[in-house]
Amino acid sequence: MKTTTDCIPCFISHSLNVAKMTSANPEHHREILMKTLSLAADLDFNDAPPSMAKKIHSLIRQITGVEDSYVRIKDESTAFALEMLPFLRHEVAKSERPFETAIRLVIAGNIIDFGIDHEFHLDSVHQIIADSLKQQIDLNSIELLRRRISSAKKILYIGDNCGEIVFDRLLIEPIKEKITLAVRGRPIMNDVTRREAAMSGLDKIVKIIDTGDAVPGVILENCSKAFRQHFQKADLIISKGQGNFETMLETDRPIFFLFKAKCPVIAKLLNAELGSLHVIGKNIRK
């Protein structure tokens, strides 16, 4: 996916929000804002939006000296999601269509995203979950995903946000023997790294690798050789979240994207409503 002019105000707003969250120094805020404006002026619109996010966060690290601006938020999101896990499992267990319910809940977890919405509140998750169980979703794509999971031997599951990765256990645990979980190679926004994957209990369930890159998505040419090998050898790739969708939309690998449309640009691209649930298969045999 290419960057659009509508992405630019989001970049600017995001950089200032993270600057204020990271440092109390107004000089830092001004320097980060001005340098972000300079980056925006030289923006390559052929790049996916997460490329700019990587540049912004590299800038913030350099100016403030803070490696992980979101560490507190990530830890709170993880703890909250772990508390919810028994309730989520109960929802799946009591469902007449457990796989569909698991998919709906896994996508609902995608809303735990302080990277896009700095005003997001964890106490809204219960209502989001209730809504996700009733929202329109492509049932044919869910069934196709179920069949492809059943036939696949090696599945690469690419995670997205902290907290959300706990919800992903609903889908990962029943097929854990097939799964390799990929996380970010370095802290970036509230995306999951090896640290938070372990905090979420996933290190005891599946093999975990990282992309080798600090981008809220997957830009394959920037990823480690080990990640690229897993990417090419997987029978099936399951991609969580909007950033992964934005960066891997053009891949030729068999992939399912699971996410909520959380910004107007993505909603417009999909001709869908903001907040809609998506299960999108690409390069998948019918």
Rounded to whole angstroms, the Cα distance separating 137 from 229 reads 32
User: Exposed, middle or buried by CB within 10 Å (0-12, 13-18, 19+), for 155?
Assistant: buried
Residue 286: pLDDT above 80? Answer: no
Q: What is the mean pLDDT of the segment spanning 124-128?
A: 78
Q: What is the mean pLDDT of the segment spanning 187-202?
A: 97
pLDDT at 4: 93
pLDDT at 19: 96
Residue 115: pLDDT above 60? Answer: no
Tokens of 218: 């997957």
Please state which of the ranges 33-47, 103-117, 222-236 shows the lowest mean pLDDT: 103-117
pLDDT at 124: 73
Residue 43: pLDDT above 80? Answer: yes
Mean of pLDDT over the chain: 93
Residue 212: pLDDT above 60? Answer: yes
Quickly list H helices, 65-168: 71-94, 98-108, 125-132, 139-151, 164-167
Rounded to whole angstroms, the Cα distance separating 278 from 13 reads 26
Cα angle: 3, vertex 242, 28; to 5 degrees: 65
Say which amino acid occupies 82.
L
- Please count the CA atoms within 13 angstroms of the CA of 155 that sit on its side-chain side: 25
Assess contact for 200 and 112: CB atoms under 8 A.
Answer: no
pLDDT at 111: 75
Rounded to whole angstroms, the Cα distance separating 253 from 248 reads 9
pLDDT at 193: 98
pLDDT band at 155 (very low <50, low <70, confident <90, very high): very high
Cα–Cα separations (whole angstroms), residue 158 to 64, 179, 234, 235: 30, 10, 12, 14
Q: Is 223 left (phi over 0), alpha (psi -120 to 50) or beta?
A: beta
pLDDT at 149: 98
pLDDT at 123: 63
Q: What is the mean pLDDT of the segment spanning 12-28?
A: 95
Measured in degrees and rounded to the nearest 5, phi and psi for residue 273 equal -80, 150
Rounded to whole angstroms, the Cα distance separating 197 from 267 reads 29
